[in-house]
Structure 1
Amino acid sequence: MAKPVIGFVGVGLMGHGMAKNIVEKGYALRIVGNRNRTPVEDLVGRGAVEAATPRDLAAACDIVLLCVTDSATVEKIVRGPDGLTAGARPGLIVVDCSTADPNSTLALEAELGRMGITFCDAPLSRTPKDAWEGTLDVMVGADDATFETIEPVLATFAGRIVRVGAVGNGHKIKLLNNFVAMTYAAVYSEAFTLAKKIGIEPQALDSVLRGGRMDCGFYQTFTKYLLDRDVNAHRFTIRNAHKDLRYVSGLATASGVANWIGAAARNYYATAEATGHGDDNVPQLSDVIAGLNGTRLG
């Protein structure tokens, strides 16, 4: 049986590595380029074909993956005059790997379903390095038949694929995952700032935390910046973290759930973005919090 033709929109930090793995593992791949031509040219050099618009992509593909910034961008790609729905035929599967608002996801599923198009969610965890190496975690919201169809494609760039139920559940769980991670980043930043203010150097606190019960992969990438000043240790921007925590707040509000810790963390990211640090990576939040408290960690 012939492999499906795959389309990809969003060949940025995460998407470049994902698309690289798809084409290198034997799938015909079509991509929509963006202003950064470097990943586009790299992928074309590996055998991908560039399409002019999402409309053209949809007309030529069986499965289209999206890996973009937010739900507003997803909706534009799907619904725009040259969007996916303008060129799609019944039977197309659209897989949203972005971190998105679940309410938007469910609306798109219903809207596209009336056109005979399947929309499902498969957001990601881990880093661009994992995307390049094909070891991402993917959490999938899809029905049985759709999951069976898309799983081999996801496996080209994923080390772990977890099906989490119906459409929308992937994005809900991804937001919960990011809520935990981004809140930890704020906690780490406060803890190291407080340590510095009371005369304890960051390396001393790290010597207790590292290797203990509070150690984890996220802590290690976070402190690779905080201690070693590796700005690329965790390439996820404060702007995107703030966006995700706003989505979490929306979920909590809609569900009538108190979200005090989320609100506190969200305000740290809001402060960082408002003071010009939106394009910094998440571990650099530690510099912002230290500065607010009149000290420096680096």
Structure 2
Amino acid sequence: MTQSIGFIGVGLMGHGMAKNILAAGFDLTVLGHRNRGPVDDLVARGAREAASPEELAAASDVVFLCLPGSLQVEAMIDKMADQLPKGAIVVDCSTSDPVSTLKLGESLAERGLNLVDAPLGGTPVQAEEGTLSALVGATDEVFAKVKPAIDAWASTVVHIGGPGDGHKMKLLNNFLSLGYAAMYSEALALGEKVGITAQVFDSAIRGSRMDCGFYQTFMSYALDGNRESHKFTLTNALKDMRYLESMADAAGMANPIGNAAKNSFALAVSTGGDGDKDYIPHLVDFVARQNGVKRS
């Protein structure tokens, strides 16, 4: 029997994901939003629009959530829980705090419901193409049930482990990428201070063992001013680093490097980083200004 899918959060990433779920032949219900463009497009493609989370929950065997973070996920699940049919699966595709994820999973299990964490890797372009990656935390049984729907929008699906493990791995992944962003920004500012321009810096790093895809995306802005080279906001980066801190605290582990990277983003956000328009590579400008550096 074809699963009935609900999707909440059809924005920058969610629209493409939902579009590919429809293309794979699933019945799809989406939650209405004041941003009508993505919703209207999906309805034109055959989706149904629900007027409330409760209405969407009652019509869905599987509900995908693509929301800013744990606070929004908790609030949405609280609205849906009483209307979800027994055995339903909620798939949190947000980058969320695993401490919250585990508590939500336990709460839903008591109601005969299932929570899967499947945070994303990739860009809005890859979401439209159906070539995202997913890091999935779920029991083997629930993973088997939900994988066909995830396959509709992800070309790489990795079953990391049990519930919560997907979000744990996503935060470790983001720790690496956001840590690199903080280091690149500081290195470029220091370089300018001592007479090494960004262009000279890049000529030494590009093609070396320190080069990587993330470096090239970051430098696409630092060198060429491509403001949309990595459309992931500074505020979301700060949120993720705070979740990493929460995970480390829950594990009883010091994480000084993570906190140092978090503080780079916190300084940028607190000194004017625009929540909707300033993205990860733009950190280079904030670190430069904090150090009295005019980037070349």
- Same fold, TM-score > 0.5, yes or no: yes
RMSD: 1.2
Contact 1:9 1:67 in 2 (8 A): yes
Q: Give the match for residue 29 of structure 2.
A: 30
Partner Cα distance (1:231, 1:132) in 2 = 20
Which secondary structure state, in structure 2, belongs to the residue aligned with residue 277 of structure 1?
Answer: coil
Aligned ranges 1:141-156 → 2 under 5 Å: 141-156=137-152
Q: How far did 1:250 drift? A: 1.1
Over residues 39-81 of structure 1, what are the superposed CA-to-partner deviations in whole Å (9 max), with x where a residue is unaligned? 11111122111111111111111110001001110011010xx
Contact 1:10 1:33 in 2 (8 A): no
Q: How far did 1:86 drift? A: 2.8
**Candidates 181, 186, 189, aligned match of 1:190:** 186
Aligned ranges 1:250-269 → 2 under 5 Å: 250-269=246-265
Q: Give the match for residue 63 of structure 2.
A: 64
Q: Give the match for residue 19 of structure 2.
A: 20
Partner Cα distance (1:128, 1:285) in 2 = 21
Q: How far did 1:296 drift? A: 2.8
Contact 2:198 2:223 in 1 (8 A): yes
Which secondary structure state, in structure 2, belongs to the residue aligned with residue 105 of structure 1?
Answer: helix
Matched AA of 1:292: Q
**Candidates 101, 108, 124, aligned match of 2:104:** 108
Partner Cα distance (1:49, 1:297) in 2 = 50
Over residues 184-208 of structure 1, what are the superposed CA-to-partner deviations in whole Å (9 max), with x where a residue is unaligned? 0000101111111222221121122
**Candidates 279, 283, 290, aligned match of 1:285:** 283
Gaps of 5+ in 2: none
**Candidates 235, 238, 246, aligned match of 2:234:** 238
TM-score, normalising length: structure 2: 0.96
Contact 1:195 1:205 in 2 (8 A): yes
Give runs of ≥4 in structure 1 deviating > 3 Å: none
Partner Cα distance (2:212, 2:19) in 1 = 28
What is the identity percentage for the equivalent residue pairs of Structure 1 and Structure 2?
Answer: 51
Q: Give the match for residue 44 of structure 2.
A: 45
Which secondary structure state, in structure 2, belongs to the residue aligned with residue 130 of structure 1?
Answer: helix
Q: Give the match for residue 226 of structure 1.
A: 222
Q: How far did 1:278 drift? A: 4.2
Q: Matched residue pairs, number?
A: 294
Contact 2:64 2:92 in 1 (8 A): yes
Partner Cα distance (1:206, 1:173) in 2 = 30
Q: How far did 1:33 drift? A: 2.4
Over residues 66-112 of structure 1, what are the superposed CA-to-partner deviations in whole Å (9 max), with x where a residue is unaligned? 01001110011010xxx211311101111111111111111111111
Q: Which moved more, 1:139-148 or 1:215-224?
A: 215-224
Q: Give the match for residue 247 of structure 1.
A: 243
TM-score, normalising length: structure 1: 0.96
Q: Give the match for residue 86 of structure 2.
A: 90
Contact 2:91 2:118 in 1 (8 A): yes
Matched AA of 2:19: K
**Candidates 159, 172, 178, aligned match of 1:176:** 172
Partner Cα distance (1:214, 1:48) in 2 = 45
Matched AA of 1:41: D
Partner Cα distance (1:203, 1:130) in 2 = 29
Partner Cα distance (2:50, 2:294) in 1 = 48
Partner Cα distance (1:242, 1:55) in 2 = 31
**Candidates 100, 107, 120, aligned match of 1:124:** 120
Matched AA of 2:143: F
Matched AA of 2:72: T
Partner Cα distance (1:207, 1:41) in 2 = 47
Partner Cα distance (2:12, 2:222) in 1 = 22
Gaps of 5+ in 1: none
